[in-house]
Structure 1
Amino acid sequence: MKAAVLVFPGSNCDRDLAVAFRGAGFDTTMVWHKETELPQDIDVVGVPGGFSYGDYLRCGAIAARSPISRALIAHADRGGYVFAPCNGFQILTEAGMLPGALLRNSGLKYICQTSALRVEETQSAFTAGYSKGQVIEIPIAHHEGNYTADPDTLRRLEGENLVAFRYVATPNGAMDGIAGVLSPNRRVLGMMPHPERAAEPLHGKADGAALFRSLAQALVAA
């Protein structure tokens, strides 16, 4: 199993994400944003959290147009897996890979805390390791985590069961408490919380580890 973790100027969770992938058994490579191709035979691409390009424009907007982003989109179009927490989620919405947008938190303040999430959908390689309705605790750390979409998009996400996670108590104003969404083929997951920061007991919580193990098990079984 092979994973690639993208690295943008300002990324600060790229190594955390790589450690979580390696802990689940992935051979993991870091890929600088100026590269134009991904390594061969990559199974999953991780788009990390952090402040890509200092968040000087809309969060993720510049990163979505980095040279490596074309290869990322092509990988997803081929049916490859993509996992994107926090700023990575913002990048995917800016690149048009996931619907909606991430706006400033409703309180206009940066939030850093552990939040309870409810698992809404288990029919994906990322979430199969959880039970539907299970409540897990995952850290959040963001200023622009307020997930927003038009009514038709929200209806489609709900109707196609593409909401992966929902906040038990919404901390940032996200519509319908949405914390993470899947692509229609369920091979791309963007979520605002950071499961890579809750992937081993030394983190205090290890509820995020099941996501990485679940993905590894799906690839082994494929």
Structure 2
Amino acid sequence: MRIGVVTFPGSLDDQDAARAVRIAGGEAVTLWHGDADLHGVDAVVLPGGFSYGDYLRCGAIARFAPVMGPLVDAANGGLPVLGICNGFQVLCESHLLPGALVRNDHLHFICRDQKLRIESTSTAWTSSYEVGQEIVVPLKNGEGGYVADEATLDLLEAEGRVVARYLDLNPNGSRRDIAGISNARGNVVGLMPHPEHAVEALTGPTTDGLGFFTSILKGLVEAS
């Protein structure tokens, strides 16, 4: 299965995401921000980094990149999309996910290994996990606080669209300890921590992040 990884100016983790796809058993396909073509991929990862320097707001310029036009249309049609860190911000700016990511409440960049609890396994990217499973993956952000109005937060909770929550400590002030969410269909997921940095024992604190990538590959195979 072919998983596209978008590279924006300022992307830092596109190669890490592509490596995670390959370790999981998929074919990683490079998608360039200026190319309005998804090249027939079966799913897309929007990686972490600082797209377009994070000027204006994080992800605000990337939303208008040529590649995002067909990506938004495809995502609305069911294409699986995972946004990690800056990719999560891009998904919110593109209105594929509700809410926004704002400056950490302590006003400092944070980099740490973070414990999470998987809250939903009904998305295209989390089916390899168990509900309530605790995992550890790296976290690194300066604008990682997830915010939304109370009605939106209540809707996410009621529809089971909170994908992951922070455990032990809330590192950035995210409302209700939310680390990741999905759209109603479950094909689009945004996650602030970095599962692509926890896919092999040599370099990650764990291999707990690999499940995001094996989940999508398994789902695509089953659907083919």
1:171 equivalent in structure 2: 171
Q: Aligned partners of 1:140 and 1:183: how far apart in 2?
A: 22
Residue 196 of structure 1, CA deviation: 0.1
Structure 2 counterpart SS, 1:205: coil
Tell me, yes or no, if structure 1 residue 103 matches structure 2 residue 102: yes
Spell out, residue by residue over 1:124-183, the C-alpha distance to the aligned partner (whole angstroms, 9 max, x if none): 221111111111001111000000000110011000000000001211000000000011
Q: Aligned partners of 2:90 and 2:4: how far apart in 1?
A: 16
Structure 2 counterpart SS, 1:67: coil
Spell out, residue by residue over 1:36-94, the C-alpha distance to the aligned partner (whole angstroms, 9 max, x if none): 11102x11111000011111110000001111110110110221100110000000000
Q: Aligned partners of 1:214 and 1:95: how far apart in 2?
A: 24
Tell me, yes or no, if structure 1 residue 15 matches structure 2 residue 3: no
Structure 2 portions without partners, runs of 5+: none
Asked if the contact 2:161–2:184 (Cα under 8 Å) also holds between the matched residues in 1, the reply is yes
Tell me, yes or no, if structure 1 residue 148 matches structure 2 residue 147: yes
What code does the residue aligned with 1:138 have? V
1:92 equivalent in structure 2: 91
Asked if the contact 2:137–2:205 (Cα under 8 Å) also holds between the matched residues in 1, the reply is no
- Give the TM-score taking structure 1 as reference length: 0.98
What code does the residue aligned with 2:28 have? T
Residue 221 of structure 1, CA deviation: 1.0
- Give the TM-score taking structure 2 as reference length: 0.97
Residue 31 of structure 1, CA deviation: 1.1
Q: Aligned partners of 1:214 and 1:125: how far apart in 2?
A: 7
Higher mean Cα deviation, 177-186 or 121-130?
121-130
Structure 1 counterpart SS, 2:67: helix
The runs of at least 4 consecutive aligned structure 1 residues that moved more than 3 Å come to: none
Structure 1 portions without partners, runs of 5+: none
The within-5 A match list for 1:117-196 is 117-168=116-167, 169-196=169-196
Q: Aligned partners of 2:219 and 2:87: how far apart in 1?
A: 22
1:64 equivalent in structure 2: 63
Residue 99 of structure 1, CA deviation: 0.2
Q: Aligned partners of 1:171 and 1:188: how far apart in 2?
A: 24
